Amino acid sequence: MKRRQSFLFLLLCLAAVPAQQPTHPVRKPYDGADALNAPLRIYVDQDCRILPDLLHPTPGQKQKPYRDDAICYIDGPSSTVNLEQRAEDNQLIRWDTIEETLQVTNLTDREVVFVVSYLVQKPWAINSEPQPVRYEGNIAIFLVHVSPGRRVGLHVGRRLMRLIRPKPH
């Protein structure tokens, strides 16, 4: 009888202690970027400088941005000023636009995704097709897919709106 009571007491004690789950480090989700058939990624900034791949650094070397006109160069920039009148509130709007085209070339034998980071200083806004895939703070991120041996132009426009009150007649 005492043995049975001891056994029941032990079972009750074990049931009261919560089971601990083994702690494992949190794994990052896998995006497929390292797959053999995944497109190569080349990181470029708004000045067509080729940036080091921060996810896959070269061991023992500090990589710096560099230029290679065979891979990336800029057509432009061109500036325009347009006036637009809004009838409902009798205001003129002045649009200042700066446009340029980044020409990126795939010199490899597999598909490349150029990850273009473009600094957008306030109060300017991006006005281009295609639009950025995302923003990281004040940096617009564009993805440009390029087949082997091909060149693709990414047209980027920055636009600034200014309200101008016309003089009354």
- Please state whether the predicted TM-score (pTM) of the whole model is above 0.95: no
The residue type found at 20 is Q
Query: Cα angle vertex 81, ends 129, 89, to 5°?
Result: 95
Give 101's Cβ-side CA count (13 Å radius).
8
If phi over 0 gives left and psi between -120 and 50 gives alpha, with beta otherwise, what is residue 111?
beta
In angstroms, the CA 13 to CA 10 distance is 5
In angstroms, the CA 148 to CA 69 distance is 17
Question: Would you give the DSSP letter of residue 3?
Answer: H
What local confidence, expressed as pLDDT, does residue 81 receive?
79
What local confidence, expressed as pLDDT, does residue 9 receive?
57
What local confidence, expressed as pLDDT, does residue 133 receive?
96
What local confidence, expressed as pLDDT, does residue 156 receive?
93
Q: Using alpha carbons, list the distances in angstroms from residue 25 to 20, 21, 22, 28.
A: 15, 12, 10, 9
What local confidence, expressed as pLDDT, does residue 120 receive?
93
Question: Would you give the DSSP letter of residue 51?
Answer: E
In angstroms, the CA 63 to CA 43 distance is 13
What local confidence, expressed as pLDDT, does residue 42 receive?
94
Chunked into runs of 10 residues, the chain (169 residues) has average pLDDT values of 55 53 57 68 95 74 88 88 69 84 95 95 89 94 96 93 69
If phi over 0 gives left and psi between -120 and 50 gives alpha, with beta otherwise, what is residue 71?
alpha
List the chain domain ranges: 38-164
**CA nearest to 99, candidates 119, 73, 126, 117:** 126
What local confidence, expressed as pLDDT, does residue 86 receive?
65
The residue type found at 145 is H
Question: Would you give the DSSP letter of residue 109?
Answer: S
The residue type found at 70 is A
